[in-house]
Amino acid sequence: MHELALAESIVDAVRTELERYPGAIPIRVGVRIGVMAAVDLDALRFGFDIAVRESGFPRLRLDARIIPGQVTCLACGVETPAESTVFDCPRCGSAQTMLSGSDELDLDALEVERDDDGTTHV
Ligand SMILES: [Zn+2]
């Protein structure tokens, strides 16, 4: 499952990032995903729940957003923004569309809390 591997790589990236902030507890990671990466956000969130359970970061939440691309209808030529790779033309209903956009995945935010009181968060 592609999304589970992706979720694990996001958790790994958080872990790497945290090496620069000893004692910090990650609570939110923001990720931007290009539409051409064809990531199912629901599946990614599900995979993230599994990955985070094994990660030692029980409070970490995923904030994933799709970077929209553009769909061009090959039948009628209309262009519309696309947030999914499954796309029928909104004007003529044709399924013959061409999608363009980014396939990148970027970590764009990491929110942490300091564990100053010395308690263990479970
Ligand atoms: Zn069309």
Domain count, the chain: 1
Residues 6+ apart with CB under 8 A from 70: 79, 80, 81, 82, 99, 100, 101
Most confident of 73-77, 113-117, 118-122: 73-77
77 Cα–ligand 1 center, Å: 6
Residue 31 domain flag:
yes
85 Cα–ligand 1 center, Å: 16
Residue 122 domain flag:
no
71 Cα–ligand 1 center, Å: 10
* Residue 116 pLDDT: 64
pTM: 0.77
**Each residue's pLDDT tens digit, 41-88:** 999 999 999 999 988 899 999 999 999 999 999 999 999 998 877 778
Residue 122 has pLDDT above 90, yes or no: no
Residue 101 domain flag:
yes
Residue 13 domain flag:
yes
Residue 119 domain flag:
no
Q: How confident is the model at residue 17 (pLDDT cuts 50, 70, 90)?
A: very high
34 Cα–ligand 1 center, Å: 23
* Residue 23 pLDDT: 86
Considering the chain, what percentage of its residues have pLDDT values greater than 90? 70
Residue 86 domain flag:
yes
Residue 89 domain flag:
yes
Which CATH number characterizes residue 91's domain?
A: 3.30.2320.80
Residue 21 domain flag:
yes
39 Cα–ligand 1 center, Å: 24
Q: Angle between the 2-18 and 41-53 helix axes, to the nearest 10 degrees?
A: 50
The residue range of the domain holding 101 is 2-113
Residue 117 has pLDDT above 80, yes or no: no
36 Cα–ligand 1 center, Å: 20
* Residue 92 pLDDT: 96
- Which one, of 32, 3, 27, lies nearest residue 14 by Cα? 27
Task: Indicate the DSSP class of residue 37.
Answer: G
